[in-house]
Amino acid sequence: MPRSPATLSVKDLVADAHNRRTHPTRNVEMIATALRTVGAARSIVIDEDNAVLAGNGVLLGATGAGLDKVQVVEGAADTIIAVRRRGLTDEQKRELAIYDNRTGELAEWNAEVLGADLRDGLDLSAFFTDEELLELFPAEAPAEARVSLADRFGVPPFSVLDARQGYWQDRKRAWLALGIESELGRGTAAKLGENHHGYRDRKRKATACPGGAPLPGVRGPRKAYTPAKAARLRVLKGGKDGKRARAV
């Protein structure tokens, strides 16, 4: 039979030193704002030693909001505890619901602690899918499960591109073989000369790839393309192995 509620101080509660969630500043500040604006609502979970099992972010936010009183309800595993709040306006009810969901989104997983759980043999498959685990622990993923920037984009994006690497030099040679002078940049009146597809008119607007195939990915009104751009699309959207690659 549950005992009558008891009252503790926030200072009596012990935060979880191995919390699997981290609480960035914005997360804690929003929790504190919610407590000041609409008041306490969701309960936290503590054990018999007042250690916080769930609700460490609320504990931090309560400290920031200046709250100190904790009402303890002895619960049972087969009974849900509902916190009833009376007298809220419709606007406060709406804000309370949004705060409740948004503050949870602003917390983050503590990969360091979860990684220790994994090394201790804890099976996390009940909590995370394989894809989610790879996002949490990319360095510990098997090599075949990792997708590099080169795999995603054909070559890494220009923000991390090293033009001296072999893959870029190979791509550049392929462009030059098609008559594309990459140093001239995009959108310039490039002096292409005659390439192996026989384009002599440097100002001709192409509506198809070299060889007469429709331009890949063209939707809506047909756009005008220079022979250089058409050739570039042909190289970037396909290759010797037939795999699609994103334009860089």
Q: How far is CA 177 from CA 69, 169, 180, 184, 193, in A?
A: 76, 12, 7, 15, 12
Top-confidence residue, 84 or 147: 84
Return d(Cα 62, Cα 39) in angstroms, integer: 10
pLDDT level of residue 21 (50, 70, 90 thresholds): very high
Residues 7-19 pLDDT 10s: 999 999 999 999 9
**Confidence label for 165 from pLDDT (cuts 50, 70 and 90):** low
Query: Which residue has 């490039």 as its token pair?
Result: 190
Q: Is the per-residue pLDDT at 194 higher than 90?
A: no
In the chain, how long is the greatest CA-to-CA distance? 92
Question: pLDDT tens digits for 120-158?
Answer: 999 998 999 988 988 888 876 555 444 544 454 454 444
The per-residue pLDDT for range 198-208, each reduced to its tens digit, is 444 443 444 44
Q: Where are the domains of the chain?
A: 6-109, 111-145, 149-236
Q: What is the mean pLDDT of the chain?
A: 75
Task: Report the distance separating Cα 83 and Cα 100, nearest Å.
Answer: 13
pLDDT score of 134: 86
pTM of the model: 0.56
Cα dihedral 190, 192, 198, 201, rounded to 10, equals 40
Question: Regarding predicted confidence, which is higher, 194 or 171?
Answer: 171
Task: Count helices and strands (H / E) in the chain.
Answer: 8, 6
